Chain A
Amino acid sequence: MTSGVFRFSDILKLRSTNQDFAKGCIVDTSILFAVSFPNDAHNTVATQLFEYLHELDIPSVTNVNIRAEFIQNQFQVLVPEGLCDLYSRYGKLLNDVVCKKLKSNYATVTDARNNGHSYKFTNSKISEWRDFLRSKSISGKDAWFEFCQDFISHRIETVWDETCDEVGLNFLSLRGSDTKEWMKGPIEWKDASLLVGNYGIGSFDAMIVNLFLNSHFPILITADREIARALRHLNPSGKFVLIPDKMNL
């Protein structure tokens, strides 16, 4: 087995025949988000994965693109979660219009949780709530800012550092003196653009794939189907992609 797409549980078998695995793996946003957010559909498998990495002594690495996408994903789930907390703790105190809208959000988030999914707000949904809360602002206070400071800020400000600390993430700087140790060559924007063009993937995903292809790390771990599909098609030599056992490609 010299390259290809494999399952998380294959890592035990693969490690015994690939000494290269000791170099480490790139863990993409979907997996880092999953291990940090208990309501994510992949939380259990991501938790198990990091136990494998611990036992096999395989380091995991990340970079600035993954961090930016991770924070964005956290924000998109913490807004609906925060609105749920606002409803469950203060719903009875609030006026009918606010209460009704919060109750509807609560039902949607609860439904997603019961079905084993995380519920992320789209940008337009965030704008809708931003405008709605601002329309309720009084005494010169911005109710959207206040909501964010009360329900989002303390959760989002530390989640990246806590995740890095727990899963022993190593930050891969592309400007540091040790870059040559990790990278085969410079990261080119045009290569990432080409990946977007050829495979129809988002720019965050393209930058992760580009980093993987240009690095010395033999493994990329992802729960993102499009990243896995693009890499399966590219089939780079000596590179392994690991996806959750039950994920369909």
Chain B
Amino acid sequence: MTIRVNLFAGLREAADIDAINIAVADQISVADLIECVAVQIPNAAALVRYSRVASDNTYLADDQIIAAGSCCDLIPPVSGG
């Protein structure tokens, strides 16, 4: 099973892809998911670790659990305004 992680802005550009799939058994914490993504995008690992995870348009806390088969957004530090 996998979790689809959508990428944006500098993360998408560094990975050269819109989304990546992270293999998980049946669930994973937000903090662990971020580490998995950092390993898959080594040229932007630092930026990945500064990023936040969102699901259903809401930020998740580091200890929240994401189920396999779901989809989330990796939100790098924002710069609107």
* Same complex: no
